[in-house]
Amino acid sequence: MVSSDRPSNIFSPASHLDFSRAEPVVDVPEGFTGNGRTNDVLWDEYSLIIKGQRIFIHSGEFHTFRLPVPGLWLDILQKVKAAGFNTISVYSHMALINPSPGIIDFNDYRALTPLYEAAKQTGIWIFLRPGPYINAETTAGGIAHWITSEVAGELRTNATDWNAAWQDYVHGIITETAPYQVTQGGPVIGKPALIMFCINLSNDNEYFQEPDTHAEYFRELETFYSSSGIVVPFTANDSGENRAWINGTGAVNIYGMDSYPQGFDCSNPDVWNPVVTNYYSYHEYVDPGQPWYFPEFQGGSFDGWGSTAGYDQCRILIGADFENVFNLNLWASNAKIINYYMLYGGTSWGALSYPGVYTSYDYGSAIAENRELSVKYPELKRQGLFLRSSSDFYKTDWVGDTTTGTVSVSNTAAFVTLLTNPDSMASFYIARQGDSTSKDVTTFKLNVTTSAGHFEVPTLTSGITLAGRQSKIVVTDYSFGSSRVIYSTAQVLFAGRIGGRDVLFLYGDPTSESEVALILSGTPRIQWAGVSVSPNGVTIVTFPLGIPEFITLWDSSEQVILYSDTDTAGTFWSPEISAHDSVEFANYWQFGTNSSILVGGPYLVRNATMTGSTLALRGDLNDSVQLIVIAPDDVTTVTWNGIPISSDVAAASNITSQGGFVAQLNTSSTGHGFAPPALTNWRYADSLPEIRSEFSDANWTVANHTATNMPLPYYGDGGCENIVLWRGHFNALEVTQYVKLSINGGSAFAASVWVNDVFLSTSSGGAETDDKFDFPVGSLLYGQDNVITILQTNLAEKSPRGVRGFMLNTGNFDAWKVQGKVGGYTNYPDKVRGVLNEGGLYGERMGWHLPGFDTSSWALRNLSEGLPNATAGVGFFVTTFDLSIPDGFDVPMSFVFDNTSQPYRCQLYVNGWMMGKRVSNIGPQYKFPVHQGILDYNGTNTVAVALWVMERQAVTPTLQLTIDGVYEGGVGDIKTNNPPWSPEGRPISQEFYESLGEMN
Active site (catalytic) residues: 206, 296
Instruction: For residue 5, count other CB atoms closer than 10 A to its CB.
Output: 7
Q: Any long-range contacts for 705-710 (C-beta under 8 Å, 24+ apart)?
A: 708/800, 709/148, 709/149, 709/150, 709/151, 709/152, 710/148, 710/799, 710/800
Q: Among 643, 585, 587, 581, which Cα is nearest to 615's?
A: 643
Strands (E), 489-571: 491-498, 501-508, 514-518, 526-527, 539-543, 550-555, 559-565
Q: Among 465, 454, 469, 453, which Cα is nearest to 491's?
A: 465
Strands of the sheet containing 701-702, edge to edge, are 701-702, 813-819, 722-731, 785-794, 750-755, 758-764
- Cβ atoms of 310 and 924 within 8 Å: the answer is yes
- Cβ atoms of 275 and 325 within 8 Å: the answer is yes
Q: For residues 337 and 347, give the distance between their C-alpha atoms in angstroms, rounded to a whole number.
A: 27
Q: Are strands 53-55 and 57-62 parallel, antiparallel or unpaired?
A: unpaired
Q: Which residues of 724-749 are buried (b: 16+ CB within 10 A; e: fewer)?
A: bbbbbebbbeeebeebebbbbbbbbb
The dihedral region occupied by 392, where left means phi > 0, alpha psi between -120 and 50, and beta the remainder, is alpha
Q: For residues 742 and 183, give the distance between their C-alpha atoms in angstroms, rounded to a whole number.
A: 55
Is residue 154 within a helix (H) or strand (E), and if so which, with residue range?
none
Q: For residues 705 and 715, give the distance between their C-alpha atoms in angstroms, rounded to a whole number.
A: 5
3-state secondary structure of 845: helix
Q: For residues 570 and 600, give the distance between their C-alpha atoms in angstroms, rounded to a whole number.
A: 9
Q: Among 471, 461, 454, 331, which Cα is nearest to 415's?
A: 471
Q: For residues 518 and 534, give the distance between their C-alpha atoms in angstroms, rounded to a whole number.
A: 10
| Chain CA centroid to CA 699, Å | 41
User: For residue 11, what are the β-bridge partners?
Assistant: 104
3-state secondary structure of 540: strand
- DSSP code at position 247: S
Q: Among 331, 249, 245, which Cα is nearest to 286's?
A: 245
The dihedral region occupied by 974, where left means phi > 0, alpha psi between -120 and 50, and beta the remainder, is beta
Q: Among 31, 82, 663, 118, which Cα is nearest to 367's?
A: 82
Rg of the chain over Cα atoms, rounded to whole angstroms, equals 30
Angle between helices 212-226 and 160-177 (to 10 degrees): 30
| Chain CA centroid to CA 305, Å | 19
Q: Which residues of 289-319 are buried (b: 16+ CB within 10 A; e: fewer)?
A: ebbbbbbbbbbbbbbbbebebbbebbbbbbb
3-state secondary structure of 146: helix
| Chain CA centroid to CA 582, Å | 33
Q: Among 480, 444, 525, 26, which Cα is nearest to 232's?
A: 26
The angle formed by the CA atoms of residues 982, 987 and 988, to the nearest 5 degrees, is 90
